[in-house]
Amino acid sequence: YTIRIERAGILLTEATGTHLEFKNAERNRNYLITAINSDGDEISETRSISKSGGKVTVTLNFNE
């Protein structure tokens, strides 16, 4: 998988694999998280961080 995180149309980070750690998230900003599988299929979700610290886990399921 390729995982991307974007904000306001700007790519902030991208990684290959099943996990991506992004430490520069700002509170109350919307982030578009996109996963792309080996067939080129994409699935996306928008998330906003509402508090400082901790972790956010996003599960994007291609099997739905």
Residue 63 in any domain: the answer is: no
Between these two residues, 57 and 26, which has the higher pLDDT value?
Answer: 26
Q: 28 - beta bridge partners?
A: none
Residue 30 in any domain: the answer is: yes
Residues with Cβ within 8 Å of residue 22, at least 6 apart in sequence: 5, 12, 13
Domain that holds residue 30: 2-48
Domain count, the chain: 1
Structure tokens at 41: 């299929």
The answer to whether 32 touches 7, Cβ cutoff 8 Å, is yes
Residue 59 in any domain: the answer is: no
**pLDDT tens for each residue of 5-52:** 999 999 999 999 888 888 888 888 999 999 999 999 999 999 988 877
Residue 11 in any domain: the answer is: yes
pTM given for the model: 0.82
Residue 61 in any domain: the answer is: no
Instruction: Supply the pLDDT for residue 3.
Output: 94
Instruction: Supply the pLDDT for residue 49.
Output: 81
